[in-house]
Structure 1
């Protein structure tokens, strides 16, 4: 006899689990790498720290604002549900489509490959330089290649997907264990780094800390940038910090499995984003305490944390950072995989995704959504284009964050008497500030780095015909047959 699908998800997640999901999904490999690119953009310690502080402020503001929405709509799907309630199914679908095609799956692929790259420090055979397959194409000697790192990343995605398909309790255990480990490891690295502070390097790095400089080909910093160019440099630098701070909203997707979602989702957002913001700022202070700015800018393959760890711990520092990043990316991908399928579940319930994604397996989880997410992420791993996808994730993600937070104002008018167990802190000032900062960030990227914006917009726009086709199919299914 065929086993029936459970009627609803299990409420097995508490405040600690939610907080660990927020922090664990945010901290992947970015904090260990992106500061090199930021320094190349802004050229000064003051603006390096400020870039992380600005992003941290934006993230905290958004998280505190989302608390109101999560308390109003404590169900699976999170941001997708908020957009549907504030606007309509069309806007919500465009978010869900972008989430499925690039935001979540592209991040899962990139984090998986980052896990593989640093695993190669311990097992060189798993390196991205170990090409397993090469297929020539074109007339210029180009070839499509598949590396050992890509295969390992796919294996990681498949293993974590299988574990999460066996029940939310399994994913919860991995998330809490690995996130606590990574948080303690990061605080330890920061503490040892600040103890190893080099006075001459620190003083030199804080000479003219607010001048934004261009970077010369030899790694030295050139003349100060004019105001308009400086604003563009800051916006481009923030692509890295926003990507490193993204996925904080993943806890909203699993609200349907929280024990007390009206309280704990909002608190998880606040605690998780605050913890990560503090860690990110302190980590960058540690970097400039032990490394000259030019060495941060020219770190091999942008691996700033490796350079800093070698100064702090000697040659064993490379191994320490490799293990830390393996733990960090493993836990990060678990959180991304666990939460992502809940969005597809909610979309399917609205007739906007594969119908089977709206069903639960015997373990009360949306297994089909988990596996189709794994399939797309694995294809992105094999494509080798995950890095390009990530360049546009920040633009698309912030665009939808702005729309969602604007939805708070809309819902205050639309549903004035709705229950609001938690209200957005600092409303209306802080949400309005986030909206203005988010719009400014997007506009500056359009002006100074359009290649980071138009591919993402194209992906969003592709969702328009898909939406109307899906709705036509739904209407055809609902049309009564006249005999």
Structure 2
């Protein structure tokens, strides 16, 4: 039997802010600018995509502050959706969260860690196949990712203080490293000719493609063709497709809401941590991309080897040692990111189990006051996703699914203002109703555009959500039988 029946509030404002920032910054900022640039075709639009993503993230985070102050309890977004709508909507979020949003992200971040570890230790490469069963292969990178997930899960079962120490230490380290990369980029790597060339036609919009030599991963040749988009529909679709990478790189900011039961003064500190954390990351992301345009020609950003823009920039800044500099930075970044995801995710399953909508044993805390069984269930599924080899596709599904629930949660603010006006609101959504409404419109437009221009990924993401409906009614029926 567990000796603890409730969470211990042990995390302060700094810890909560580091969880927000640390969960957001994984490997995306080092990679996704290549795909964004190919979709938009110019430096100005590259920065615009990151600014728009930052605006949306900050707006959503400030809106969530109201909900976190109203319901300062473990489970976060699951609780908000249940309270604003009904238990089914809350469950569908929790189902999607377990099936793909959190566990798929944990798997992908773990594999990103191992891929960049291979720069330092080649034996850990994804090309080093350990088991080959023709239709099913397991690489050294996948095994390292699994070991990482298991290690961090074990550490977090020892108590929230252990997870907090890793989170704060590694997040501060990667924030300092990213600021250092940006500063050294401008001081040592910036070239006036490169900057001028990138911004000469900085607002020309179009799709970049190779017209000579090369392969999917390595560009050989000098000619890049830019094809303008015709009409507003394709332009909106291109921006939406470009934002898949930036939105995913900026996601997971809401993880701090899941551990409300372990935060001191949650009605105040969650809202503040959401603001400070998302603001810090937005500034870093925009500055990093401005630095890329000062160091690398646009074509080298768009067609960096394996999309590793930061590796190309670091090589320009630090020379041949630049690859190892970035490899270490990404290892630190992804290690801290996965710790935050693992720490916070299990609290959602714990709250669902308390409602009778998840495995019963997950509703217990261990002697260290953490949901250990929830941590291990999450660990097992994330490890399976590591082995599936489908984590890359899962990330495309994550964006649409996550956006749908962000939209619903912010709509929930409007519903709760109307249906439950007397509930105490120590903090109210900044810019309400204008800013939350703008977020809903922008996020909805992005979802619609992705359904039109990336129908396979978007439709499959929606299918994952809908599969949760029969599961919910089975769970409810099981509760009645008990």
If the TM-score is normalised by the length of the shorter chain, which range does it land in?
Answer: over 0.9
Unaligned runs of 5+ in 1: 137-142, 478-483
Runs of 4+ that moved beyond 2 A: 216-219
1:451 to 438, 449, 456: 456
Answer whether contact 2:2 2:364 (CA < 8 A) is retained. Answer: no
> What is the aligned partner in structure 2 of residue 250 from structure 1?
255
SS at match of 2:119: coil
Answer whether contact 1:154 1:378 (CA < 8 A) is retained. Answer: yes
Q: Please state if 1:284 is matched with 2:276.
A: no
2:209 to 216, 221, 224: 216
In the aligned structure 1, how far is the partner of 2:2 from the partner of 2:458? 45
Give, in angstroms, the shift of residue 225 of structure 1: 1.4
Q: Please state if 1:228 is matched with 2:238.
A: no
Give, in angstroms, the shift of residue 228 of structure 1: 2.1
Give, in angstroms, the shift of residue 323 of structure 1: 0.3
1:41-440 superposed matches below 5 A: 41-136=39-134, 143-195=135-187, 196-218=189-211, 220-226=224-230, 227-440=232-445
Give, in angstroms, the shift of residue 221 of structure 1: 3.1
User: What is the root-mean-square deviation in Å for CA atoms of aligned residues?
Assistant: 0.8
TM score, norm. by length of structure 1: 0.96
Give, in angstroms, the shift of residue 223 of structure 1: 2.9
In the aligned structure 2, how far is the partner of 1:215 from the partner of 1:304? 16
Give, in angstroms, the shift of residue 207 of structure 1: 1.7
Give, in angstroms, the shift of residue 294 of structure 1: 0.5
Give, in angstroms, the shift of residue 388 of structure 1: 0.5
SS at match of 1:146: strand
Answer whether contact 1:201 1:290 (CA < 8 A) is retained. Answer: yes
2:16 to 12, 15, 18: 18
Answer whether contact 1:43 1:221 (CA < 8 A) is retained. Answer: no
In the aligned structure 2, how far is the partner of 1:383 from the partner of 1:199? 46
Give, in angstroms, the shift of residue 193 of structure 1: 0.5
In the aligned structure 1, how far is the partner of 2:163 from the partner of 2:193? 46
Answer whether contact 1:5 1:359 (CA < 8 A) is retained. Answer: no
Give, in angstroms, the shift of residue 297 of structure 1: 1.1
Answer whether contact 1:134 1:145 (CA < 8 A) is retained. Answer: yes
1:20-35 superposed matches below 5 A: 20-35=18-33
In the aligned structure 1, how far is the partner of 2:235 from the partner of 2:414? 32
Answer whether contact 1:34 1:241 (CA < 8 A) is retained. Answer: yes
Unaligned runs of 5+ in 2: 212-222
Q: Give CA deviations for 1:245-277 in whole Å, capped at 9, x if unaligned.
A: 000000000000001101000000000000000
Give, in angstroms, the shift of residue 443 of structure 1: 0.6
In the aligned structure 1, how far is the partner of 2:418 from the partner of 2:458? 32
Q: Give CA deviations for 1:284-340 in whole Å, capped at 9, x if unaligned.
A: 000010000111111111000000000000000000000000000000000000000
In the aligned structure 2, how far is the partner of 1:272 from the partner of 1:386? 26
Give, in angstroms, the shift of residue 194 of structure 1: 1.1
> What is the aligned partner in structure 1 of residue 216 from structure 2?
none
In the aligned structure 2, how far is the partner of 1:147 from the partner of 1:160? 20
SS at match of 2:207: strand
